Amino acid sequence: MAKKREDGYLSGREARRIQKENRRIINEFEKKRKRKNVPESEYLTTMHDPGNAVEFDDLHTFFFTDSGTVHSVDGVTFSVPIGKTVGVVGESGCGKSVTSLSLMQLVQRPQGQIVSGEIRLNLGNKAYEISKVPQEKMQTIRGNVVSMIFQEPMTSLNPVFRIGDQVDEVIALHDGEGKSKEEIKQRTIEALEMVGIANSEGVYRMYPHELSGGMRQRVMIAMSLACNPKVIIADEPTTALDVTIQAQILDLLRNLKDRINSSIMLITHDLGVIAEMADYVVVMYAGRVVEQGTAEDIFYHPAHPYTMGLMASKPVVGKHVEQLYSIPGKVPNPVNMPDYCYFRDRCEMCVKECSGAYPHMISLSDTHKVSCYRFLEEHRKDAENPEKMPSAVREMMEAMKRLHEDNDSVKAEEGEV
Amino acid sequence: MADDYILQVKDLKKYFPIKGGMLSRVVGQVKAVDGVTFNLGRGQTMGLVGESGCGKTTTGRVILRLYKEKTAGDILFEGKEVYDLNAKQLRELRTQMQIIFQDPFSSLSPRLPVGEIIGEAVREHGLVSKEEYSDYVDKVMDDCGLMPYQKERYPHEFSGGQRQRICIARALALNPKFVVCDEPVSALDVSIQAQIINLLKELQEKRGLTYLFISHDLSVVEHISDMVGVMYLGNLVEYGKKEDIFDHPAHPYTKALFSAIPIPDPGSKMNRIVLEGSIPSPANPPSGCKFHTRCKNCMKKCKEEAPVQKEIAPGHYVVCHLYDS
């Protein structure tokens, strides 16, 4: 079976060794987690910048599976400033959801564990290190401080309970101390009204199947905003919805964010949604951040070949190209990550350093960082020269520029009117 | 020049009965497709867009005669009414019209190897002789970017993009003239999406295929289509050349739909037309023009009288009272 070895074939002995090793590691983590009466001092920390709501610092979240360790999140560092929206983009399986689940401590246990790194959460007067917070304390944070809007409004609501009961439960659990049932119901109806459900009394008594997809997503948003969280994680909130409904939901999210002054971590693979919503953008590939910056940095001056490829492969209305660019090859096997740049095998713009160790983050400006050897001092000139790029990418950049200029001229005309 | 059209659809309707009561009598009808008229030229791609539940998929399926009957209207495929064919003629027609389904995860049988999935229909229809059969399947797989050595594998061993390639290979193995693509890229990642779209375009050029491309992703439709049709609640409210529809949308619904497309440019300030409320139930559609409950240009006439299709520019049709004269 020499051929199969490359496909991830494991001998029985090898598999047993991995299982045993995994059990040992997992038990260690679980023991730490199950301790009772952990003093607060153990997970108290200070924010590096008090203007941030969340700071991810070199986060590693691994899954210890029977066929090897999957490095789902492999050294992710970025922060979410208070009152801002941070967009996280990447293909499925690149670790964007796992990053957000780590913040909620909802990673599938026991095989999934936060191995190292810190997640600092700003609670206003103090800050917590999420990976060390014990379970019972975490329950007061989830929903109250950090809450999540899930991807599938069709499957995230319980079909056998009324909408009202489901939202009531959230409020009762997180913020219900000393409140009567009537008061909680009042809060629920307010929350439903806040997300633009006109017939809130009626919807309170309905079952999920009586609502359309857009309405269900509104209920999900109402549920996650019921306790005025400081950080909202929106995991592909509009992927399952139509464009017109998507527009409604995005407007709603933007307005609500301003009203309760919270931060949004928006996870999506739709660059259009990101451009519209996000102040900062983080591009992830195979468990690592490859590029981060403000929305303007990323969309007008994309630096990493993966970001460029992603943009060139998406058809955009008004951007006419003959053929869409498609990134060659595929994502490396998550169990056996190469020790050089993960994108090297798919990259058309390699330089000689690319065969070396994984590239560090290089700052291009105060906000814009990229992890690519093309931006070392000696290659910088080539990297910024469009002549050296693949033709499809160059075409895309020009199309984007045209689109941007068109929009600018439209704006200028409106200004004159 | 009626000969130029591979497919002519005229005033197509498809209602589904709602059964209820003790004797499960028909108590109502869901008007899934309620008046669709268009012509599709040979070798062209028609994009069909609209919100979910507006009848895009039903239109595609009715055209392929995947339902036993239609409620009203004509479907002429190469000049012949599809629903008038007898069993033998229909069987022949099946090789000329194919469909690619939305979800590559559930539309492939998990118990059949890929070679069999692709080749089954070829053998069944006797398209090639026994000796050539194996080579033929290899060639189709090769055309669709699959390796012939993968023939013995089962669908679960493939990624989403590759499964979609299998679906495409299955449809194209019969050498059809007309393919309905029902949201072929919605379930895929952006970079894989691009691969599949490029593959579909390449195959169209090579084989002269005609596509009916159903999608709710307007940017994909703009990229791939020659003609675009916009559906709302069972009606084809606007249809015409891609350039006409995207540059000069005429129907208020089309305008609202296009203004909702997010543009990957953080500097662009959109003047978005946000549609209030949600799509009405197709079992009990509003009177007159079906869009009048959400239309900002609604007039008195719209509530009473259903508009008819009008040609506002050569090849650009719209169903709206705003263009009555």
User: What ipTM does this complex have?
Assistant: 0.78
Are both A288 and A328 inside the same structural domain?
no
| Tokens of residue B42, six digits | 């040979």
The structural domain count of chain A equals 2
Give me the residue from A214, A244, A309 closest to B191, CB to CB: A309
pLDDT per residue as tens digits for the range B172-189: 899 899 999 988 888 777
Gap between the Cα atoms of A50 and A158, Å rounded: 38
Are both A99 and A53 inside the same structural domain?
yes
Gap between the Cα atoms of B204 and B139, Å rounded: 16
A274 and B201: CB-CB below 8 Å? Answer: no
Give me the residue from B191, B267, B275 closest to A313, CB to CB: B191
- In sign, the C-alpha dihedral spanning A88, A90, A91, A94 is negative
Domain membership of residue A371 as a residue range: 302-416
Position of tokens 């609640």? B233
Distance from CA of B97 to the nearest CA of A (A): 26
B63 membership: H or E segment, kind and range: helix B56-63
Gap between the Cα atoms of B106 and B167, Å rounded: 11
Q: Nearest residue on chain B to A271, judged by CA atoms?
A: B264
Q: Which residues of A touch B222 (CB under 8 A)?
A: 315, 317
B265 and A400: CB-CB below 8 Å? Answer: yes
Is the pLDDT assigned to residue B47 strictly greater than 90?
yes
- B interface toward A at CB cutoff 8 Å? 51-52, 159, 189-195, 197-198, 201, 216, 218-220, 222-223, 246, 256-270, 272, 274-275, 278-279
Q: Nearest residue on chain B to A401, judged by CA atoms?
A: B265
pTM, to two decimals: 0.84
Position of tokens 């023991």? A31
A191 found inside a domain: no
B222 and A315: CB-CB below 8 Å? Answer: yes
B45 membership: H or E segment, kind and range: strand B45-49
Distance from CA of B103 to the nearest CA of A (A): 14
A211 found inside a domain: no
Q: Give the mutation candidate from B190, B193, B214 for the A interface (greatest A CB count, under 10 A).
A: B190
| Tokens of residue B242, six digits | 């891609």
Distance from CA of B50 to the nearest CA of A (A): 8
pLDDT of residue B264: 78
A20 found inside a domain: yes
Q: Which one-letter DSSP state was computed for residue A345?
A: G
A269 and B268: CB-CB below 8 Å? Answer: no
Dihedrals phi, psi of A381, to nearest 5 degrees: -65, -45
pLDDT of residue A7: 56
Are both A277 and A329 inside the same structural domain?
no
Are both A14 and A119 inside the same structural domain?
yes
B246 and A269: CB-CB below 8 Å? Answer: no
Give me the residue from A92, A247, A299 closest to B264, CB to CB: A299
CATH number at residue A18: 3.40.50.300
Strand partners, B168: none
B266 and A411: CB-CB below 8 Å? Answer: no
pLDDT per residue as tens digits for the range B8-41: 999 999 998 888 777 788 888 888 898 899 999 9
pLDDT of residue B308: 87
A87 with A114: CB under 8 angstroms? Answer: no
pLDDT of residue B12: 92
Are both A290 and A360 inside the same structural domain?
no
| Tokens of residue A176, six digits | 């219900």
CB A28: neighbour CB atoms within 10 A?
A: 11
Gap between the Cα atoms of A348 and A161, Å rounded: 53
Of A253, A272, A300, the last residue of a domain is A300
A408 and B278: CB-CB below 8 Å? Answer: no
Fill in the amino acid letter for A203: V
Q: Which residues of B touch A402 (CB under 8 A)?
A: none
CB A255: neighbour CB atoms within 10 A?
A: 12
Are both A295 and A333 inside the same structural domain?
no
Within 13 Å of residue A42, how many CA atoms lie on the same side as its CB? 12
Are both A140 and A13 inside the same structural domain?
yes
Distance from CA of A329 to the nearest CA of B (A): 10
Q: Nearest residue on chain B to A402, judged by CA atoms?
A: B265
Strand partners, B178: B97, B210
pLDDT of residue A280: 94
- DSSP output for B157-198: GS-HHHHHHHHHHHHHTT--SEEEEESTTTTS-HHHHHHHHH
pLDDT per residue as tens digits for the range B116-166: 999 999 998 988 888 999 999 999 998 888 888 888 889 888 888 888 889
A364 found inside a domain: yes
Of A300, A328, A361, the last residue of a domain is A300
B258 and A317: CB-CB below 8 Å? Answer: yes
Of A275, A300, A325, the last residue of a domain is A300
Are both A291 and A383 inside the same structural domain?
no
Q: Which of A56, A59, A67 is nearest to A111 (CA)?
A: A67
A152 found inside a domain: no
Distance from CA of A68 to the nearest CA of B (A): 19
Q: Nearest residue on chain A to B220, judged by CA atoms?
A: A315
Dihedrals phi, psi of B310, to nearest 5 degrees: -130, 150
Fill in the amino acid letter for B50: G
A159 found inside a domain: no
CB A24: neighbour CB atoms within 10 A?
A: 10
B265 and A243: CB-CB below 8 Å? Answer: no
pLDDT per residue as tens digits for the range B94-106: 899 999 988 887 8
Are both A312 and A337 inside the same structural domain?
yes
Q: Which one-letter DSSP state was computed for residue B318?
A: E
Distance from CA of B38 to the nearest CA of A (A): 23
A72 with A98: CB under 8 angstroms? Answer: yes
B262 and A275: CB-CB below 8 Å? Answer: yes
Fill in the amino acid letter for B209: L
pLDDT per residue as tens digits for the range B199-249: 999 999 998 999 999 988 888 899 999 999 999 988 899 999 998 898 889
Residues of chain A with pLDDT under 50: 1-5, 416-417
| Tokens of residue B163, six digits | 């499964």
pLDDT of residue B269: 60
Q: Which residues of B touch A313 (CB under 8 A)?
A: 190-191, 193-194
B123 with B176: CB under 8 angstroms? Answer: no
Instruction: Classify residue A239 by burial, with Cβ atoms within 10 Å: 0-12, 13-18, 19+.
Output: middle
| Tokens of residue B189, six digits | 């990642």
Are both A290 and A309 inside the same structural domain?
no
pLDDT of residue A97: 87
pLDDT band at B3 (very low <50, low <70, confident <90, very high): low
Q: Which of A23, A32, A99 is nearest to A64 (CA)?
A: A23
Gap between the Cα atoms of A96 and A183, Å rounded: 37
Are both A272 and A350 inside the same structural domain?
no
Are both A30 and A93 inside the same structural domain?
yes
A271 and B52: CB-CB below 8 Å? Answer: no
A164 found inside a domain: no
Gap between the Cα atoms of A101 and A86, Å rounded: 16
CB B69: neighbour CB atoms within 10 A?
A: 8
A214 and B278: CB-CB below 8 Å? Answer: yes
Q: Nearest residue on chain B to A94, judged by CA atoms?
A: B189
A362 with A369: CB under 8 angstroms? Answer: yes
B260 and A400: CB-CB below 8 Å? Answer: no
B99 with B179: CB under 8 angstroms? Answer: yes
Q: Which residues of A touch B52 (CB under 8 A)?
A: 213, 242
A237 found inside a domain: no
B263 and A407: CB-CB below 8 Å? Answer: yes
B264 and A314: CB-CB below 8 Å? Answer: yes
Gap between the Cα atoms of A82 and A280, Å rounded: 12
